[in-house]
């Protein structure tokens, strides 16, 4: 089985992370991952810490972290994909099929309503999976705006209410389900993974894996059911 990490963070964009892209990729390689998604924070507070520079420059830094990770991944024989984590209206969303043109298409993303962003994303082929939808009792599941939920999040510094989130996901059987370690530190790496019978090389393959029912989900070294 091939091993994928759908949710990890790097410096400098994710100021709550502690390691640059190259090091995070190396740690994941040592833990046997074949594919990782770089999900650096696409959020107003994280962008503010990048300083008094233009929107396009901040987007450049966000995308460059992914490119740096991708380059190191290629050197190690890994697949590195892009799924920035948007924070909007108090909730968090992993974005798929995102490119520089979309990110630079407007500079008011953080001031849009969730409904406005969702409509704009759909117009541009961007898909959303909600990350840790019940985290710390401050997040709220938004099934009408996403194609799926991160049902289990193994970041140890938050209460993610995974059992309650599984119950919520069962009420929306048409939505995809996945897991993520939300890795910020070295000790976070390897806590969870999506397992597949084939190597995940593209975003489309990953989403199709979740749709197919062929995915297996590893949490703390054990296979768990999200049914």
Provide the β-strand partners of residue 37: 81
Which pLDDT value is given to residue 54?
A: 97
Identify the H or E element spanning 85.
strand 85-88
pLDDT class of 15 with cuts at 50, 70, 90: confident
CA angle 213/146/197 to nearest 5° reads 25
d(CA 92, CA 129): 9
Which pLDDT value is given to residue 18?
A: 81
Which pLDDT value is given to residue 50?
A: 92
Range of the domain at 56: 2-224
- The mean pLDDT of 53-82, rounded to a whole number, is 98
CATH number of the domain within which 24 lies? 3.20.20.140
Nearest to 98, CA basis, from 130, 126, 76, 56: 126
Residues present in the chain in total: 227
Q: pLDDT for 95-115, tens place per residue? A: 999 999 999 999 999 999 999
pTM beyond cutoff 0.85: yes
pLDDT class of 70 with cuts at 50, 70, 90: very high
d(CA 102, CA 108): 12
pLDDT class of 13 with cuts at 50, 70, 90: confident
- The mean pLDDT of 53-73, rounded to a whole number, is 97
| Residue 217, C-beta contacts closer than 8 angstroms, at least 6 positions apart | 152, 178, 179, 192, 193, 194, 195, 223, 224, 225, 226
Which of 11-25, 42-56, 81-95, 186-200 is the least confident region?
Answer: 11-25
- The mean pLDDT of 148-166, rounded to a whole number, is 97
- The mean pLDDT of 47-75, rounded to a whole number, is 96
Only one residue has tokens 């001031």, namely 111
d(CA 155, CA 219): 11
d(CA 177, CA 166): 9
DSSP annotation of 38? E
- The mean pLDDT of 143-162, rounded to a whole number, is 97
Q: How many domains does the chain have?
A: 1
CA atoms within 13 A on the CB side of 174: 5
């Amino acid at each position: 089985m091939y091993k994928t990490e759908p949710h990890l963070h790097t410096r400098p964009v994710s100021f709550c992370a502690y390691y640059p892209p190259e090091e995070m990729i190396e740690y994941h390689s040592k833990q046997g991952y074949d594919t990782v998604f770089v999900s650096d924070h696409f959020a107003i507070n994280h962008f503010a810490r990048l300083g008094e520079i233009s929107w396009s420059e901040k987007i450049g830094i966000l995308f460059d972290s992914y490119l740096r990770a991708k380059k190191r991944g290629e050197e190690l024989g890994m697949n590195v994909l892009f799924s920035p984590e948007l924070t909007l209206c108090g909730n968090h969303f992993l974005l798929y099929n995102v490119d520089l043109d979309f990110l630079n298409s407007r500079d008011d993303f953080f001031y849009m309503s969730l409904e406005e962003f969702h409509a704009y994303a759909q117009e541009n082929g961007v898909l959303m999976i909600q990350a840790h939808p019940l985290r710390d009792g401050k997040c709220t599941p938004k099934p009408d705006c996403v194609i799926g939920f991160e049902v289990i999040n193994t970041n140890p510094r938050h209460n993610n209410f995974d059992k309650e989130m599984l119950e919520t996901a069962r009420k929306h059987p048409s939505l995809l389900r996945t897991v993520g370690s939300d890795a910020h530190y070295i000790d976070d790496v390897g806590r969870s993974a999506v397992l597949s019978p084939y190597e995940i090389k593209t975003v489309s393959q990953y989403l199709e894996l979740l749709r197919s029912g062929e995915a297996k989900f590893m949490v703390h070294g054990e296979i768990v059911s999200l049914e």
